[in-house]
Structures are given as structure tokens and as C-alpha cells.
Structure 1
Amino acid sequence: MSLHKDLPPLLALRAFEAVARHLSFIKAAQELSVTQSALSHQVQKLEQHLGKPLFIRRTRAIDLTAEGQRYYDEIRPALDAIATATRAQRQMPSATVLRVGLLASFATLWLAPRLAGFLNRYPHIQVELLPSIQLANVAAAEVDLAIRYGKGDWPHVQATRLMAEVISPVCSPTFKANSLGNGPLLMATSHRPFEWTDWSQHYQVSLEQHPRVMLHDYNIVVEAAVAGQGIAMGRHHLIQRRLQDGSLVQAFDWPPYHSDIGYWLITPQGPAHQAVECFSQWLREICADA
């Protein structure tokens, strides 16, 4: 059964509360920015709705009747609760959509499992991950910010290094035992082969005898290596679980290489809006602990 039919006119209720609190039509009218006549009319409307007087009107003062005092005591907590709820809603930030450009491999293997921490801290910010092998154009506002993998040499943007990557060639245990000698190198078409170039130059190793297999994305590279299809350049931040469960192992005897390749936070030049600042700060924090 609806209770709406029992509700008094809300303007009249507001007028009554103000007059009862001040015990003055003059002060209540000033607070509500209405004339005394309009305020008196609303109070009379409430009295008619209830079928009883709520105030004792004297020449220079007013007071609540016993019924008026009881009614005021009963409705005041409800009005306070409405005011509190309204204030909270007005102060609550409106939902903001934050568009983040990044590689699908970083989104899948590293960021997505950690994203709940950001959403718990900033529930009003809706994060939209936009994975692509293409480098999203931050400067042209295709995305609000981006996370890129490389050496930080992108023009017309602000690049902040989040964490360096540790790299080493990896493969499945079976592939290492049976096919390592001239096994194919699995590479992602989303990147120039600078990882392999840096690693081979560091250890002065020639890779000319190894054929190359170009795959669309690093996620596919990892899965192909796990399936025994060749040797992948392992990005240790992304394949940690695979190394721990033994589905990938070091292909060669050289230790992992601490390169200058890493993950970078890319934001537009100039001031950033609040959602970008919040996400950037959170991202720097969790990368520092990685």
C-alpha cells in the first residue's frame, strides 16, 4: 500500500519546520527567502491537511501547540535524514570514464588482476581499457592516458617510467630438451625486435641461425611458447606465473638481462584532469611494489 497519500505538501512541511525551529514567522521567512504571507499560507495548508492547529498565535509571539510540538519532534529526524542523504549525493563525485590505451598483453597479464585495487579506492572512476597493438595517440586525445612498452622515446607527450623489464629467452621444458638448437624465435608484430637485439648485443650472441615467427600479439607469443612452438623473449613482469608453475623455463644458460626497456606512463603535455592524476598516482604506487 502506498504511503504517498499520507504525505503532507512538502512545501508546507518545510515551512512548518522552519517556523517551529525559530518560533518566528519573520526569521523563518528570511531563511527560506519567501514573504511572511506566503509562509503563513503554507503553514495554514498543513494545518488544514492535518485537521488541527499547530501553533498558538499571539500578538508578538507564537508557540507550538501540544500536537504541533509532538509533530515537530516526530518529523525532524526524518527531515534531517533527507538533508543528510541529499548532501551526500551532492558531494559525491559524478562518474568519470577514464580511457586507458595499452597493449592487450599488459592488460591481460599484469594490469587486469590488479585493477580492483584502483576501483575500490576510486569507485566513481570507470576505467575503460582499450587494448591495441597500435600506439594510441595520447596527444590527440584518442585516450586519456596510455601505458607503453619501450624506451620512452615518444614525441609530444609526457613519458614517466613505471618499471623496468627483466628479459630472457624462454621456452617450454619439452622444447628445451628436444628442439632448442635452431628453434624459431617467436616475436610480436606489435614491436620492433629491439628486445632480441638488446639481449643478443649484451651477451654477444648471434641469432642468425634461428628462423623468426611473427605473431600478432605478445599474449599469442607466450601461449605459443608454452605450447612448445619456439623461443619467446620473456618479459618477466608478464610471465611470472608461467615461470613459477614451470610451463616456461630459461632457454639458455645466461642470466636474465636487466634492460633499459620498460613500461611507461604516457600522458598529454600540460595539466591533467583529476581522473588521470588519480590513476597515475595509483599506477606508480603498485609499480613501485612490483
Structure 2
Amino acid sequence: MAFPRLAANGAAAISDSRARRSGVMRTVLTPSRLGRSFELTGAAFDLTHASVMRSAPLLPPIPALRAFEAVARLRGVSRAARELLITQSAVSHHVRKLEQDLGVTLFVRHARGMDLTPAGERYYDTVGRAFALIADGTAALASEANAVVRISVLPSFAAHWLAPRLGRLRKAHPTLTVELDPSLDAADLRAGRHDLAIRYGGGVWDGVDATLLMTERLTPVAKTGSTLADLPLLITRKAFDWTLWSAAAGFDFAAARKVQLTDYNVVAQAALQGEGVALGRLRMMGSALEQGVLTAPYDLVLETREAAYWIVIASGRRPSRAASTVIDWLRSEAAD
């Protein structure tokens, strides 16, 4: 058997009868020549232009990092799969492969799901900050003339307070485009899909920096002419503001009849229809009281930072110039 001919440039050309008939020459490239040109049947082939990119020695594959970050943030494989638009098995494969490559267990698996190990917590913090840095750098490249500011906001706040004021924003800043994403779910600001969010509550949430926009003014309201004793309380899934007002008023909230609704928009509409007593958020429902459609049967109007609207950005991230412009405008509107 004849040994393959070794070309002067280090490429060993191996052919068989089938290859000769097809005119294709199979070539084995020696490792010592990586990155240099090789002669293939008289043509030059430069490995530096190959379509397959070699990974950096200490950088795991980006899909694996994205899968790990999503599972850690969302606390579940199924939710991560929905966000990433891949199958659950693909997410699990990425995470297992990452653990194998690192030689570290990142999650503890149990019947209820997955929890981060101490090492996983540390790595999640690192990966999350890295993605945030990439998102910041990407946002910095955006042109100010065509800037788009994406805001995650509660549907009720968007409908009753923010949307009616957007015309003034367009007039003051005609080059800005604002995209509202009304959602009941807290947006993941570290992922970079939103520039900022407006959240309702006490201002303390993990992974974000919150700045007070304005406090809400809370008091029960009902349709004018209703008999309060016949009406249930209308509450949302998180009725912490009812709890705050009840504690301040000495009202027995626990003993009251209640109807739970999905969103404050639905609560407000049900109150207007006479279906129950809502805890009026007067920043949004004040006009209905002024017009006499609703009545406020109690004197106490509670105003507290524990039930307030907050401008929220990812922790440690500096907002873009366009986002800062919108934040300043929001504050000026809230101050009026």
C-alpha cells in the first residue's frame, strides 16, 4: 500500500478510485498548519476564512449561557423554553452541557423544579451583568434621532394615566418614539427588551433600581346610589393596597366578601357598573368622582410610598439618553 503524498505545505492528499472518478480530492490538514493556506488540487484554501468559528477557550457557547440565564431568572425550564422559543429538552441540554463544560453543578434538581446552587448564584450574577453590559453597549449605538424607548407598564396605568399624556410627550420631543408594553407580569429589565418599567408597590424588587414617580391616593369607591352593605369588595390578585388602607382605617378586610378580578382595569369597570366596592386609585379614577359617577363613602384617603408608582431600571445600568429624556418627562408630568 502506498503512503499518501505529503505536499510541501503540510497537506496530505489522499485519493481513492471513487474520488478520482468524481474529480474530488479528499485532503487531511495537519494541525501544525492551522490558519495557513493549503493547496487543494491546484487551488488555494485559506483556513482563516472557514465558515466554522472556533470558540474562545474560556467562553462557553452563547446559547448555553442564554439558557442558563433564563432558567435561573425564571426559575424553571418550561418558562425559559417559552421565552427562548425552543423546546424544554433543548434548554435542559444546554444547561447540562454548560455544567459539564464548567465542571460545576449550577442547579439542584427536585420534584418541584430547579434551584440554583451557591456556585450557580454567583455565576448567574456574573452572566446577568455581562448580558446587561452587552445590552447597554447595543443601546448606546442607537441614533438619538430615531430613538425608541420601550416601557413595561401595568395596563391600568397605561390606559388611565400614561396614554392620555403621550401627545404632550410627542409635542415636546418629536424625534422620540415610545413603545408601551402593557403587562401584568414584571418585566425582566436585565434582558434588555425594555428600557424601563413603571411598577406599582413599595419600590423594593430584586435586580432593579427604583425611583419614586408618585404616590397613589387610595380610598374605597362605589357607583353613586349603590347600597354598600350589599356589595362585595373588588380586589386584584395582589390586594396589598386594600390591606394598607384597611389597616389605616381599622377596617376588617379579612371578614369582608370579596370578588377577585385579574386586572385593575376590570376592577374599575366593575365598580362603574355597580358590581362592587373598589379601592379607588384616585390618580386614575379621580375624574369619575368629580363627575359624580362614583362616590367615596369614607373620609380616609391614604397616601403612602408602599402603594406608589416607581420608575424602574435594571440594577447598575445607566439609562440611555433617550430613556433619560422620557424619565425626566414622566417626573414633570407627575409633579403637575
Relative to the length of structure 2, the TM-score reads 0.55
Distance 1:173 1:185 in 2: 15
1:173 aligns with 224
Distance 1:126 1:120 in 2: 11
Deviation at 1:142, TM superposition (A): 2.7
Higher relative contact order (CA closer than 8 Å, sequence separation 6+):
1
Indicate which of 264, 275, 288 corresponds to 1:229. Answer: 275
* Mapped pair 1:242 → 2:293: no
Distance 2:242 2:161 in 1: 22
Distance 1:258 1:229 in 2: 25
Indicate which of 89, 99, 123 corresponds to 2:174. Answer: 123
CA offsets 1:115-136 (integer angstroms, 9 cap, x no match): 1111112211111110001111
For 2:229, what is the secondary structure of its paired residue?
Answer: coil
* Mapped pair 1:286 → 2:327: no
Which stretch shows the higher mean deviation, 114-123 or 274-283?
A: 114-123
The one-letter amino acid paired with 2:179 is E
* Mapped pair 1:184 → 2:232: yes
Give 1:87-102 correspondences, 5 Å limit.
Answer: 93-102=144-153
Distance 2:206 2:144 in 1: 34
The one-letter amino acid paired with 1:246 is G
2:14 aligns with none
Deviation at 1:255, TM superposition (A): 2.2
The one-letter amino acid paired with 1:283 is L
Structure 2 stretches lacking a partner, 5+ long: 1-142
For 2:169, what is the secondary structure of its paired residue?
Answer: helix
Distance 2:216 2:181 in 1: 22
Distance 1:195 1:271 in 2: 31
The 8 Å contact of residues 185 and 231 in structure 1, kept in 2 or not, is answered as yes
Q: Percent identity?
A: 36
Aligned-residue RMSD, C-alpha: 1.5
Indicate which of 233, 237, 246 corresponds to 1:200. Answer: 246
Give 1:123-142 correspondences, 5 Å limit.
Answer: 123-142=174-193
Distance 2:148 2:317 in 1: 20
Distance 1:212 1:158 in 2: 34
The 8 Å contact of residues 183 and 210 in structure 1, kept in 2 or not, is answered as no
Structure 1 stretches lacking a partner, 5+ long: 1-91
Relative to the length of structure 1, the TM-score reads 0.63
Distance 1:209 1:270 in 2: 44
The 8 Å contact of residues 182 and 210 in structure 1, kept in 2 or not, is answered as no
For 1:152, what is the secondary structure of its paired residue?
Answer: coil
The one-letter amino acid paired with 1:258 is E
1:152 aligns with 203
* Mapped pair 1:254 → 2:302: no
For 1:174, what is the secondary structure of its paired residue?
Answer: coil
Distance 2:144 2:182 in 1: 27
Decide whether aligned partners of structure 1 residues 93 and 138 sit closer, same or farther in structure 2, where only a CA change above 3 A counts.
closer
CA offsets 1:246-280 (integer angstroms, 9 cap, x no match): 111113x3321122211000012222111111101
Distance 2:260 2:334 in 1: 29
The one-letter amino acid paired with 1:187 is I
Distance 2:191 2:207 in 1: 10
The 8 Å contact of residues 236 and 262 in structure 2, kept in 1 or not, is answered as yes
* Mapped pair 1:263 → 2:309: yes
* Mapped pair 1:272 → 2:319: yes
CA offsets 1:214-241 (integer angstroms, 9 cap, x no match): 1121111111001000000000101011
Distance 1:193 1:93 in 2: 40
The one-letter amino acid paired with 1:126 is T
Distance 1:149 1:199 in 2: 15
Deviation at 1:93, TM superposition (A): 4.3
Q: Which of the pair has more CA radius of gyration?
A: 1
Distance 2:302 2:174 in 1: 39
For 2:231, what is the secondary structure of its paired residue?
Answer: coil
The one-letter amino acid paired with 2:279 is M
2:66 aligns with none
Deviation at 1:182, TM superposition (A): 4.9
1:7 aligns with none
Deviation at 1:204, TM superposition (A): 1.4
For 1:271, what is the secondary structure of its paired residue?
Answer: coil
The 8 Å contact of residues 144 and 322 in structure 2, kept in 1 or not, is answered as no
For 1:181, what is the secondary structure of its paired residue?
Answer: helix
